[in-house]
Amino acid sequence: MTTKAPLPVREALFRRVLIPTDFSLYADAVLGCIKDLRGLREVVLLNVIDRRMHLGLELSVENLSQTAKHELAELERAFRDGGAVARSLVKVGIPPREIVMTANEEDASVIVMGARGTSLFRDLFLGSTTSDVMRNSKKPVLIIRFNLVKKLGKIECERVCQDLLGKTLFATDFSEQSQRALGLLQTLKESGANELVLVHVVDRGENEEQAKAFQAAAQKELTELEHDLREEGWHVKSIVTVGIASKEIISIANAENASLIAVGARGKGIIEELLVGSTAEAIARRADRPVLILR
């Protein structure tokens, strides 16, 4: 393995953020999580009216559109008060498809979504809309998670992102995609990020001797990368472990109390047609903290 310098990234991750919202409790919590981030420049708020739910009901769609525009205008003001440029869109269609199309049309630098939508308990860890966007988007996707707690007989979202960029775990396999992902991740410094936990999970190998050789080579790569990042002012810790990548990464994130898990969408050996590799998808589905899928 040969370490490559991270490829240059010209635009910051939070340059233009697309935030889809269905005005649910969970979606509102996502907005609160992002609103006060440093370095937030421009926000595009999007509500998609699901046409499958309103076939032939043009008046109903029109009423929903007007209501959505009113609610989005209120949200716009909240972001403007925080210093960001904000605007909003209402579209009619199939939500995941419209979100992905809008991200491309608006040249969004990242899509920010909650793990769940209106149907909080339909999926245990990842709602269907978020899952579809993650799989099909060519833009980075930040998935925000919250603990659902019952207070005074009501379900509320307990914030897990009080310090979203406090300690970021970055999983790398040393592929070119990982190097690009790290280059993008480094732009988060302007938003206050300064602590990284670098993780590489090696294959068990055919025998213990081979596994140790893989570990030694990986540790050498991470040490060099750690040195380069320290030179740029990052606080860095590196960890090499053996096992199933997604399980080990989630386990280390819990042990390190990482505020965010960042991973490249694809790594080595993933065919070009797949936009999200199995490791990234497994982490997004199973982690109990925010996950950033980088592209």
Identify the burial level of 27 via C-beta atoms within 10 angstroms of its C-beta, where 0-12 means exposed, 13-18 middle and 19 or more buried.
buried
Q: Do domains 16-159 and 168-294 have the same CATH topology?
A: yes
Q: Domain limits of the chain?
A: 16-159, 168-294
Note the helical H segments in 82-147.
95-105, 128-136
Residue 295: strand, helix, or coil: coil
Report CA-CA distances (Å) from 261 to 175, 198, 244, 246, 277: 18, 10, 16, 11, 15
pLDDT tens per residue, range 131-188 = 899 999 999 999 988 765 444 455 454 555 558 899 999 999 998 888 889 998 999 9
Could you tell me the pTM of the whole model? 0.86
Topology adopted by domain 168-294: Rossmann fold (3.40.50)
Distance CA 92, CA 194 (A): 40
pLDDT tens per residue, range 13-65 = 999 999 999 988 778 888 888 887 888 899 999 999 988 776 656 658 888 99
Decide: 138 and 275 in contact? Cβ < 8 Å: yes
Tell me the torsion sign for CA atoms 100, 103, 107, 113.
Answer: negative
> Is CATH 3.40.50.620 correct for 16-159?
yes
Distance CA 113, CA 290 (A): 10
pLDDT tens per residue, range 179-201 = 889 998 999 988 889 999 999 99
pLDDT tens per residue, range 233-281 = 999 999 999 999 999 999 999 999 999 999 998 655 443 434 456 889 8
Distance CA 279, CA 41 (A): 31
Q: What percent of the chain stands above pLDDT 90?
A: 51
